[in-house]
Structure 1
Amino acid sequence: MARFHPLRVAAVDRLTDDSVTLTFDVPPPLREEFRFTPGQHLALRRFAEGTEIRRTYSICSPAPHPDAPGPETLKVGVRLVEDGAFSTYAFKELGVGDELEVMTPAGRFTLDPAPGRYAAIVGGSGITPVLSIVTTLLEREPRAQFCLIRSDRTTASTMFLEEVADLKDRWPGRFQLVTVLSREEQQAGLDSGRLDEQRLARLLPALLPVAEVEGWFLCGPFGLVQGAERTLRDLGVARRHIHEEIFHVDGAVATTPVGASQAPAPAHSTVTVTLDGRSGTWPVQSGETLLETVLRNRADAPYACKGGVCGTCRAFRVSGEVRMDHNYALEPEETEAGYVLACQSRPTTDTVELDFDR
């Protein structure tokens, strides 16, 4: 069960003009609880003027070896968002020695190191979880190779520029890097411009044997990730080899009905929830999502973004049917198995039962 703990800020380091890394000290009693798989994220929480603000940021540091103690520190990358309530605070006010409430690691955009060929297509801050994935993989598995294709606006706006360059120096035979800048000409390499489907369709087969890639990791804005997925499918890549994490949705709409029901919400419905070993049943008020119903009765219900992006509120649908307004976090095999995002789920039957513990 994910839970919050106060962690001390050990460092705030400027990456670019609009991004920083935050490093947290993890005290010895919490190191096992904060053990993470490369690619996972942390939810950070603060209270401002009586309002709770949560945001999710991916861990960018390599994961500890399974046989080693848990992490002594955790590092996340934060990009400044215009009028962002949390990113503005992190960028302009947060300092060394301050404390933030940090949720234990979550997320399934992950890779357990194994031999083989892997690749990633990322845009902007989508590099953050992939940096942890590729570094951990190359450090632990000498028979692994990784190709990173990244898209950024300019060199100056590129997060973790030095860290990625270091990967090339450390593993020149196993790490391949391709950089595309949309608003700046490069002296060498690809021409500037957007990394759209047509461009990817030409680029990918020329870079690597697409069919031999064990796992594709797509992370960044909604449009880039969806376009990359379509390109890979057109190139014959099976869906099970494609892993996605959305960082920015930009108003895109993706309605995903779950439970094969398009029916409107019933006049009266209840939800039964199992959470951290305890169960309860409560009425769903008009217009509420199931997460909102649960939070009225259980403040410890897990969530971070409430936008269908992070997947923190994933729950198993034991019975009943729901409709999800949006789903940017769950893989098709997860929804087929019965998992839903509580923050996006609305009941379409009189009773629904969810299990957060599965």
Structure 2
Amino acid sequence: MFHQLRVGAVERITDDAVAVTFDVPHALRETFRHVPGQHLNVRYQAAGGEEIRRSYSLCSPAVAAPDPPVLRVGIRLVDGGTFSTYALEELAVGDRVEAMAPSGRFTLEPRPGLFAAVVGGSGITPVLSIAATLLAREPLARFCLVRGDRTVASTMFLDEVADLKDRYPDRFHLVTALSREEQTAGLPAGRLDQERLASLLPALLPVPDVAGWFLCGPYGLVRGARGALRALHVDRGRIHQEIFHVADATPPAAGTTAPDAAPTGGAPGFEVPAAATLTATLHGRSGSWPVENGDSLLETVLRRRTDAPYACKGGVCGTCRAFLVRGEVRMDRNYALEPEETEAGFVLACQSHPLTPEVAIDFDR
């Protein structure tokens, strides 16, 4: 369900990025109280009446009741991006934007221990919320942030990260690598690729002692960081990832459930059925409909239920996550679900196509 939120502030934080803060009405405070690392799905009517949905991570610390929640997101301009262009060029204080309640599983509930993140570009956004909330609430927690950016001028949330460094000098460790600019101190210029991270991370912190790794940013960086951690024998259950951009990635072959995972779609030998029926449960109501013209499961549901959850339709945000109750499906792409989720039976409806005559999914699980 979407709710109208008033824009309370729009701050230019780099030449191509803004931070937008939304005011939360008193009646919606509990609806919009977020867990650190979650995101907002927003909806916008573009010129001509086209409905645009986008997902933006919350950078603000999570606030416990009875204090009002603070909803602040970071938006970087994307080439040709309808909503990001609108946010940077037109969005103003007092405007109304429709948003769903915070969602997402790239989260960390504060607890004692050592945690670390590897982020690139706008991937700092959810990690800023995670680190700020953790350090404020848990005095026995430590956090190491390794971030990569192009230049100092293009780095989002410089002041907020510097504030964490000043506030928690003994518990917050920051390492920055710039790919297009030399620094007077710190790492030499260059990308944070798998080879570099595999040698850098053990020199920064005791890798086996890290309770949780949070990887966020472009596909190439996240995949490289994950590969480095696996080479360092980090258990995959301690690695959490959220991918923001996949334009530089070649889509996985049909049938794979993740860019770096083995196929788990249907059993070998399955052929796409000539006709298939989808049964979907959403908000406690179920319906059955034919899957037409090679449509995805999400497209099939949207023809009858406009309240079906989605944002990116590209296999990135995870908003359309559903539990596969019956049947077999093929996922074209998956950049959102963890291996544990696909093994448990969850799929991305926007990327899933039936491999059996009958398929049933449940969005409510």
With structure 1 as the length reference, what TM-score do the two structures score? 0.97
- 1:1-358 correspondence to structure 2 within 5 Å: 3-48=1-46, 49-65=48-64, 68-69=65-66, 71-250=68-247, 251-254=249-252, 255-256=256-257, 257-261=263-267, 263-358=270-365
Is the contact made by 2:266 and 2:355 (CA closer than 8 Å) also made in structure 1? no
Is the contact made by 1:9 and 1:98 (CA closer than 8 Å) also made in structure 2? yes
CA distance in 1, matches of 2:227, 2:359: 34
Partner SS state of residue 217, structure 1 = strand
The Cα of 1:9 is off from its aligned counterpart by 0.3
CA distance in 2, matches of 1:266, 1:98: 47
Is the contact made by 2:32 and 2:69 (CA closer than 8 Å) also made in structure 1? no
State the identity as a percent: 69
CA distance in 2, matches of 1:202, 1:268: 52
Q: Deviations over 1:188-220 (max 9, x none)?
A: 001001111111111101000000000000000
Is the contact made by 2:265 and 2:331 (CA closer than 8 Å) also made in structure 1? no
**Structure 1 counterpart of 2:363, one-letter code:** F
**Structure 2 counterpart of 1:23, one-letter code:** T
Q: Deviations over 1:246-291 (max 9, x none)?
A: 0010143233244433533210000001100000000000210000
Which residue pairs with 2:260 in the alignment?
A: none
Q: Deviations over 1:99-154 (max 9, x none)?
A: 00011111000000000000000000000000000000000000000000000000
Is the contact made by 2:322 and 2:363 (CA closer than 8 Å) also made in structure 1? yes
CA distance in 2, matches of 1:14, 1:137: 26
Is the contact made by 2:62 and 2:70 (CA closer than 8 Å) also made in structure 1? no
CA distance in 2, matches of 1:240, 1:30: 34
190-199 vs 129-138, greater mean Cα deviation:
190-199
Q: Cα gap change, 1:92/1:174 in structure 2, threshold over 3 Å: closer, same or farther? A: same
**Structure 2 counterpart of 1:288, one-letter code:** D
CA distance in 1, matches of 2:190, 2:167: 29
Is the contact made by 1:220 and 1:247 (CA closer than 8 Å) also made in structure 2? yes
**Structure 2 unaligned residues grouped into runs of 5+:** 258-262
Is the contact made by 2:61 and 2:70 (CA closer than 8 Å) also made in structure 1? no
Q: Deviations over 1:165-191 (max 9, x none)?
A: 000000000000000000000000010
CA distance in 2, matches of 1:139, 1:107: 22
Is the contact made by 2:324 and 2:360 (CA closer than 8 Å) also made in structure 1? yes
Is the contact made by 1:32 and 1:69 (CA closer than 8 Å) also made in structure 2? no
**Structure 2 counterpart of 1:102, one-letter code:** A
Is the contact made by 2:280 and 2:288 (CA closer than 8 Å) also made in structure 1? yes
Is the contact made by 2:34 and 2:69 (CA closer than 8 Å) also made in structure 1? no
Partner SS state of residue 112, structure 1 = coil
Q: Deviations over 1:306-339 (max 9, x none)?
A: 0000000000000100000000000000000000
**Structure 1 counterpart of 2:187, one-letter code:** L
334-343 vs 245-254, greater mean Cα deviation:
245-254
Partner SS state of residue 309, structure 1 = coil
Partner SS state of residue 15, structure 1 = strand
Is the contact made by 2:318 and 2:337 (CA closer than 8 Å) also made in structure 1? yes
The Cα of 1:70 is off from its aligned counterpart by 6.2
Partner SS state of residue 325, structure 2 = strand
With structure 2 as the length reference, what TM-score do the two structures score? 0.95
Is the contact made by 2:33 and 2:69 (CA closer than 8 Å) also made in structure 1? no
Is the contact made by 1:261 and 1:323 (CA closer than 8 Å) also made in structure 2? no
